[in-house]
Amino acid sequence: MTEKPFWQSGHRPTLIMAFLYFDVAFMIWNLLGPLAPIFAKAMALSPAEKGFVVAVPTLAGAVLRLVNGFLADRIGQKRTGIISQVIVIGGLLTAWKLGVDSIHALIVVGVVLGFAGASFSVALPLAGRWYPPAHQGKAMGIAGMGNSGTVLAALFAPVLAKLFGWSNVLALATIPAALVLIAFVALAKDSPNQPEAKPLGQYVAGYFRMLREGDAWWFILFYGVTFGGFVGLSGSLPTWYTTELGMTPIMAGYATAACVFAGSLVRPIGGALADRVGGIKTLTGVYAIAAVLLVVISQTPASFAVMFPLFFCVMATLGVGNGAVFQLVPQRFRNEIGVMTGLVGFGGGLGGFYLASSLGLAKQWTGSMGPGFLIFAALAMVALGGLSVVKTRWRTTWGAAIAGVRI
């Protein structure tokens, strides 16, 4: 039987809505990064405090992805997405109405934004379950290209903050969120290939069962480096550009947006490349290149002409890695994709929280963010070493059992 072409093998409206839902959710999730130079100055936050505040949505999103992973398998991805989006819209409007005038209020806002970050556990399985294994990388890559929402945050948040005040940006962000929610309700559909719903106890047991799988820990590490690096840099680059180069928040937002766009644009390319040459081979190149670039970044004096291309390239490299990881995950854990999406997304969130907060600490303790970049380069090398450990076993066990799919 001839396999259908990609666009005929799944549900196109759902794939498009998964992307748009993810895109707007990511825009909201990353609002604090571009706004950090503004509210940090207004509240006289230290570099460590600023780094921590920027990292809070990432940590909250990592934890909430586990919750959304359960709900996605229990009540479906569509309902889970609707619930999360309503919480985000209501939370932002409440914060705007009450006012955000302290670091504690910022932390609460960061937790609310974490619900937007948890969209990861909705969008990817919503799209991925509609497509066969041979097209999994492309489908997950297109849905995951919603990472580009970070570009929108970097481009528009500083401009809107200058025009209307930074706290009013929280209310303005709910407008596109509400519009996309309406379209999502109308057009998205859960795949008929849903796993049987499990009671909470069995679901929690499923998480612990997955954590007894060595491969699950490898995927958590691999995504912790690729996605963690992407989202951590997305939140930290506006601060780097303003503190190290003295750029205005708006210009820093433009420079950050270009770098983030590179990482978002190539995510489906990473998935397609992994479909063609294998996820393992793709990730091998990603970790090696990312490690070299991060070492160079850590040792290079601050200069826009030199650092912007380096940041651009490392973000693009990590974006390819994001697509490649999620070409592999559904091949290994197809029947547990909801749980594994939550766990792997949790690892990615932890990586982003670590990078953003460690860069702030490095700046406060040493006067430079260089040590933070250097340590993350070491983590990329750890991931590369781990990949070399598992690749032969993966290719000869579960990889060999999937006809026509390269891993």
Helical H segments across 99-213, by residue range: 103-117, 120-128, 136-144, 149-164, 168-172, 174-187, 200-211
Task: DSSP for 68-108, please give it.
Answer: HHHHHHHH-HHHHHHHHHHHHHHHHHHHHHH---SHHHHHH
Q: How far apart are CA 377 and CA 158, in angstroms?
A: 30
Q: In Å, what is the CA distance from 332 to each residue of 60, 121, 131, 269, 337?
A: 27, 17, 15, 21, 9
Q: Is 64 inside a domain boundary?
A: yes
Q: Which two tokens stand for residue 28?
A: 């909201």
Q: What is the dihedral of CA 127, 130, 136, 139, to 10 degrees?
A: -40
Check which CATH number belongs to the domain holding 379 and give it. Answer: 1.20.1250.20
Of 166, 172, 191, 152, nearest to 17 by C-alpha is 191
On whether residue 5 sits in a domain, the answer given is no
Contact between residue 22 and residue 119 where contact means Cβ atoms under 8 Å apart: yes
Within a domain: 402: no
pTM, 2 dp = 0.86
Q: Is the dihedral of CA 71, 72, 75, 79 positive or negative?
A: positive
State whether residue 20 is helix, strand or coil: helix
Q: Report how far apart the first and last C-alpha atoms of the chain are (Å, whole number).
A: 23
Task: Please indicate, yes or no, if residue 86 is contained in any of the structural domains.
Answer: yes
Burial of 294 (0-12, 13-18, 19+ CB in 10 A): buried
pLDDT of residue 7: 65
The pLDDT value recorded for residue 1 is: 43
Q: What pLDDT score does 109 carry?
A: 96
- Identify the domain containing residue 167 by its residue range: 10-188+196-396
> How many domains, the chain?
1
Residues of the chain with pLDDT under 70: 1-3, 6-9, 134, 136-137, 195, 197-198, 338, 401, 403-405
As a whole number of angstroms, the distance between CA 77 and CA 372 comes to: 36
Collect all residues with Cβ–Cβ distance below 8 Å to 340 and sequence separation of at least 6.
210, 216, 219, 329, 332, 333
Angle at the Cα of 234 from the Cα atoms of 348 and 49, rounded to 5 degrees: 90
In a domain, 404, yes or no: no
Query: Is the residue at 403 inside a domain?
Result: no
pLDDT of amino acid 6: 65
pLDDT, residue 340, reads 82
CA–CA separation, 256 vs 33, rounded Å?
10
**Residue bearing tokens 């920027």:** 54
pLDDT given for residue 191 in this prediction: 80
State both tokens at 322. Answer: 């994001």
**405 falls within a domain:** no
Closest CA to 302 of 377, 242, 380, 234: 242
- For 264-292, give the DSSP string: HHTHHHHHHHHHHH-HHHHHHHHHHHHHH
For the stretch 220-255, pLDDT in tens is 999 999 999 999 999 999 999 999 999 999 999 999
**Beta carbons within 8 Å of 394's beta carbon, 6+ residues apart:** 215, 280, 332, 407
pLDDT at 190: 85
**Measuring CA to CA, which residue among 168, 203, 222, 211 is closest to residue 75?**
203
Residue 342 maps to a domain: yes
